[in-house]
Amino acid sequence: MTTEGHRMQDFKLANVLFEANDRMDAYPALYCRTTKPLPIDAAGRVVTLFPRERFDFATYFNALSNRKWHLYTNATSFSRHLELRGGACAVELTHVDTYQCAERRIPGCIWRKEASDDWVSLDLDFPTSSAELLAFRITTLDDAVLLRNGYYHTKVDEGDIRDVELALCTTTFKKEEFILPNIQMIRDQILSSDERIADHFRMIVVDNGRTLDAGSLSHDGVQVLPNPNVGGSGGFARGMIEATRDPSVTNVLLMDDDVSVSPESFRRTFNLLSIVRDEYADAFVGGGMLNFDLMDQQHEDLGFMNPNGWYEPVKPPLSLSKLHDVAYNEAIRPGSDQQTYAAWWYCCIPVATIHRVGLPLPLFVRGDDVEYSLRARPRFMTMNGICVWHLAFTTKYNAQVERYQVIRNGFILQAASQVAQECNLLGWFRSLYGGEITRFNYDSAELMLIALEDFLRGPACIEDPGQGERNLKELGRLNERVVPLDELPDDFGEELHANISRLQVDEWDKPGLRQRLRKHLTLNGNRLTRGTLDPTPVFIPYDGWCDPSSLMRGHSTVIAVDPSGENGAVRHLDRARYHELQKRFHADTKRFKHEYADVAKTWRE
């Protein structure tokens, strides 16, 4: 963008965030580090800083990501605005470098506010710095201090402020407990606010369940569209189509329906896009996925597809109540050699990319976001404070999704879009299939075989818009039935409860060489086994990502327990079922090797 002949304009980047909700009560260190919870008014606008205390704002939501704002945008300097009333206090500017565990005071940047019954405004300029984070802290004296309307801001040439029109698209299927509060929050705190975003934001809800009252909900910037159940990919495609009907829309923000989100994430996304550099104008903005049950734990902001076909986070799990992890989260960026993607729990895509790349593949659910990122090959922007809270995948594990949709769609994205060509997906398939066999989860193994067979059928398996919903119903018979543990047969006896404590061991079991060899040769008793196995049941985790061989060794019955520890499913060793599936497995993998080139061509065409 050109800046010649324009004047400098003050531009808000991010608010000092406080939220009058259970999240801030339970995880205050996401917002401010101090010795006890902060009293806050019902609107979340005024917070009381109690006497003789230090309040550190070098936190996930309230530190400024200095290096990223420099990297992504035209901002070159930063300031902090605060409004204070009440007792005397000292305000210090601080900074945090990568891997530090404590913020440091910036020399010469301390201001003292005298006691006052009136609101006092302070605009404090940060010196030029290469620190990862910039922040501040307030130390109160003998009396309480009220704080309101804090924010970080910068000065930019008015010619560098882009015209951004942001359309939020979310696809929902009978998740009223999430989607209705999110609609109301957006009306109250975004569309009715006095910030720039209010006049440049709209929400499109694609209702695949057709259970929302579209007539009463569709007004004042919110549009609800009843839609057939075409899955997440079809719903997001419909949202993209509707958003791009308006030529003024510049960016489409895709967000899951079963999430909790702070309105500040939308504001920061909008502000970031408004002053983004030309070289990042085509970037996707990826929001962090934080755990809905452990709200300071980040699972992922960006992911990548590794050579073995697994989806992995770019960063390790992070505890964002810890300053070290807050700084580390901003320091780690994906390498150019990684097959990086931004998942659609929160992903903002430029409309120009949608015009260039097209719509997502009709994969119903799972893998559509990965395929789209790998096909578009964009840059990515992430930032502390842009996130959602999502149920952990282990909590919502569903075999029909994980062992049919994910498997089938992985093969489709590699064949159709010619991405991830170095990934050995057949090896990935073999590994997952073998894992299900060793866990006596024969139904999930069959789901995997159906997935491979459907891929080999070619595009016919997804061309019918209603096929995805039919698959959910037809393949649902292979979803394991989980029941409360106290409803399991009494003949399991006391052993049922005696073994559950063993689930506390490392789920990713690391047996020795002899144990691994025995597992490989016998597949936990499915073959080449002499003698009698113990029928006493043992507990293993329910999800399909762990290796519980040491828990199962020598036993013919297991109880797969869900993350709550209250529900489970009984599985028995079934050699007849194993041999039946193995014949099909060998036939399918042989067919894959012989037919893959021709099948992949049909997918590409």
Are 326 and 312 in the same domain? Answer: yes
Establish if 1 belongs to a structural domain.
Answer: no
Are 146 and 250 in the same domain? Answer: no
- Mean pLDDT score, 315-336: 88
Residue 70 burial class via C-beta count within 10 angstroms: exposed 0-12, middle 13-18, buried 19 and up? middle
Q: What is the pLDDT of residue 474?
A: 82
397/559: higher pLDDT: 559
Q: Name the token pair of 185.
A: 């929050």
Are 127 and 73 in the same domain? Answer: yes
pLDDT tens for 433-474 read 998 998 999 999 999 999 999 999 998 888 776 677 777 778
How many other CB atoms are found less than 10 A from the CB of residue 479? 18
The domain boundary, picked from 114, 131, 158, lies at: 158
- Mean pLDDT score, 319-329: 95
Per-residue pLDDT band for 507 (boundaries 50, 70, 90) equals: very low
Are 291 and 422 in the same domain? Answer: no
Q: What is the pLDDT of residue 98?
A: 84
Q: With 70 as the cut, is the pLDDT of residue 562 above it?
A: yes
Q: Supply φ then ψ for residue 388, to 5 degrees.
A: -135, 165
Q: What is the pLDDT of residue 479?
A: 84
Establish if 603 belongs to a structural domain.
Answer: yes
Cβ-contact 151, 225 below 8 angstroms: no
How many structural domains are present in the chain? Answer: 4
Are 494 and 381 in the same domain? Answer: no
Are 226 and 311 in the same domain? Answer: yes
SS3 call for 503: helix
Are 222 and 289 in the same domain? Answer: yes
Q: With 60 as the cut, is the pLDDT of residue 496 above it?
A: no
Q: With 90 as the cut, is the pLDDT of residue 306 above it?
A: no
Of the listed ranges 46-50, 192-196, 364-368, 412-416, the one predicted with least confidence: 364-368
The domain boundary, picked from 158, 185, 204, lies at: 158
Are 243 and 260 in the same domain? Answer: yes
Of the listed ranges 59-73, 479-493, 550-564, 570-584, the one predicted with least confidence: 479-493
418/569: higher pLDDT: 569
Q: With 50 as the cut, is the pLDDT of residue 508 above it?
A: no
509/255: higher pLDDT: 255
Cβ-contact 524, 538 below 8 angstroms: no
pLDDT tens for 267-286 read 999 999 999 999 999 999 99
Per-residue pLDDT band for 212 (boundaries 50, 70, 90) equals: very high
Strands laid side by side in the 251-256 sheet:
222-226, 201-207, 166-172, 251-256, 346-350, 284-286, 380-381
Q: Name the token pair of 149.
A: 């309307």
Long-range contacts formed by 586-595: CB under 8 A, 24+ apart = 588/449, 588/452, 588/453, 588/456, 589/426, 589/429, 589/430, 589/452, 591/456, 592/426, 592/452, 592/456, 593/426, 595/456
Q: Which of 451, 420, 418 has the alpha carbon at shortest distance from 433?
A: 451
Please tell me the distance from the alpha carbon of residue 256 to that of residue 271, in angstroms, as a whole number. Answer: 22
List all residues 6 or more positions away from 312 whose beta carbon is below 8 Å from its beta carbon.
303, 304, 305, 306
List all residues 6 or more positions away from 186 whose beta carbon is below 8 Å from its beta carbon.
168, 201, 203, 221, 222, 263, 266
pLDDT tens for 29-82 read 999 999 988 999 877 789 999 999 999 999 999 999 999 999 999 999 999 999
Are 408 and 315 in the same domain? Answer: no
Q: Which domain holds residue 521?
A: 481-573
Per-residue pLDDT band for 568 (boundaries 50, 70, 90) equals: confident
Establish if 2 belongs to a structural domain.
Answer: no
User: In angstroms, what CA-CA distances link 426 with 363, 399, 412, 543, 592?
Assistant: 19, 19, 12, 21, 9
- Mean pLDDT score, 311-330: 94
pLDDT tens for 7-28 read 889 999 999 999 999 999 999 9
Establish if 114 belongs to a structural domain.
Answer: yes
Are 520 and 603 in the same domain? Answer: no
Establish if 151 belongs to a structural domain.
Answer: yes
CATH number, domain with residue 170: 3.90.550.60
- Mean pLDDT score, 201-230: 94
How many other CB atoms are found less than 10 A from the CB of residue 175? 20
Per-residue pLDDT band for 493 (boundaries 50, 70, 90) equals: very low
Q: What is the pLDDT of residue 128?
A: 94
SS3 call for 120: strand
Task: Write down the pTM of the prediction.
Answer: 0.89
Are 45 and 153 in the same domain? Answer: yes
Per-residue pLDDT band for 504 (boundaries 50, 70, 90) equals: very low
The domain boundary, picked from 390, 413, 433, lies at: 390
Q: With 60 as the cut, is the pLDDT of residue 370 above it?
A: yes
Q: With 90 as the cut, is the pLDDT of residue 321 above it?
A: yes
Q: Name the token pair of 129.
A: 């710095």
Of the listed ranges 155-164, 393-402, 478-487, the one predicted with least confidence: 393-402
Are 459 and 514 in the same domain? Answer: no
Establish if 440 belongs to a structural domain.
Answer: yes
- Mean pLDDT score, 553-564: 84
CA angle 329, 148, 197 (to 5 degrees): 65
Establish if 137 belongs to a structural domain.
Answer: yes
- Average model confidence (pLDDT) for the chain? 89
pLDDT tens for 86-144 read 999 999 999 998 877 788 999 999 999 999 999 999 999 999 999 999 999 999 999 99
Q: With 50 as the cut, is the pLDDT of residue 225 above it?
A: yes
Establish if 3 belongs to a structural domain.
Answer: no
What's the distance, Cα to Cα, between the start and end of the chain in Å?
39
Please tell me the distance from the alpha carbon of residue 328 to that of residue 326, in angstroms, as a whole number. Answer: 6
Per-residue pLDDT band for 481 (boundaries 50, 70, 90) equals: confident
Show the DSSP H helices in 259-343 as ranges. 263-274, 323-331
